[in-house]
Amino acid sequence: MSKLIKVDGYKQLLDPTQTELGIKQIKDFFQANLSTALRLRRVTAPLFVLRGLGLNDDLNGVERPVSFPIADMGEQVAEVVHSLAKWKRVMLAEYGIQPGYGLYTDMNAIRGDEELDNTHSLYVDQWDWCRTIRPEDRNLTFLKKIVKDIYAAILRTEYLVFESYPQIKPFLPEEIHFVHSEELLQQYPDLTPKEREDAICKKYGAVFIMGIGGKLSNGEKHDGRAPDYDDWSTPNEDGFKGLNGDILIWYPVLERSIELSSMGIRVDKEALLRQLKLENKMERLNLFFHKKLMNDEIPLSVGGGIGQSRLCMVLLHKAHVGEIQASIWPEEMRKECAAAGMPLI
């Protein structure tokens, strides 16, 4: 498999039983820390939503959701969620959550168009979270504080793993570095976006890359982002556009960067209109979610998703996410992984 990264001399540091115990320990500890740090309450989440409401996450706008007709509802079509980026913002209003507080949930998704490799699976599990904010919180300083709080929870979890399994040595830096995607382009003009991520993460160890979704000075996007949840077009105090970003780390096991979280300050009415126009998606204003936003029926917010299996993979020093979660993989990949010392569940 051309997309599979094989690690010379790779050896699992934990046996299957230890791995399962480690996964539970990481998930229990991290979500408790995340909840405390950001003042989030846990809520129950859907696996699927009705098509046509505008609630499903469009990701990069090209991925096809898994769907099925509902026999007892006149064959209305349901879609398995890609993420809960917009659903959870509606729930902030439903629960009446005040500024400074929020919610999180265990999100499970199926992404049938995913390109399968060491870090990407058909099955996605993440902590989806969202927090109500005030108008004065819609700035880069506030966003950076939230990022630092999340990264601190990751560091505490890494140390917990080390205390439980001393053979797993911590490698994450104490601080996370902030850089805008336009700055990254200027630093590495001859590299692709992925190569830029590798370069900056190798240099700093942990990075938050801001401004994901809008076009850069070369006319290209660093990466795609749907126009109706993250605010990637509003100018910030650093002179760039974008109040969103991705948390990435340099992962020494695979010798490459890995994204752990996608997050940002969510669109207000002005940003929604601007971004829908930029992406030629103005027809979405007729959808349920977008009407509620334009009618001031859902609050301003900041939110994101943090990959559960991917975080466990990194903190347990695994070479493939299939060592953490049960999913479907090409038979050729299963054979190659087994021969390389990384048997897939």
Please give the positions annotated as active site: 57, 111, 126, 246, 259, 262
158-to-162, 175, 303 alpha-carbon distances in Å: 6, 14, 23
Record the tokens describing residue 65, joined without a space.
């959701």
- Name residue 77's beta-bridge partners: 69
121, amino acid identity:
S
106-to-28, 84, 109, 145, 169 alpha-carbon distances in Å: 12, 10, 10, 23, 28
* Location of structure tokens 């439903």: 94
Backbone torsion region of residue 209, taken as left when φ is above 0, otherwise alpha when ψ lies between -120 and 50, otherwise beta: beta
Q: E-strand spans in the chain?
A: 40-42, 48-50, 67-70, 76-80, 102-110, 123-132, 177-180, 206-210, 244-251, 256-265, 301-307
Half-sphere exposure for 96 (CA within 13 Å, toward CB): 0
**Residue 182: phi, psi to the nearest 5?**
-70, -40
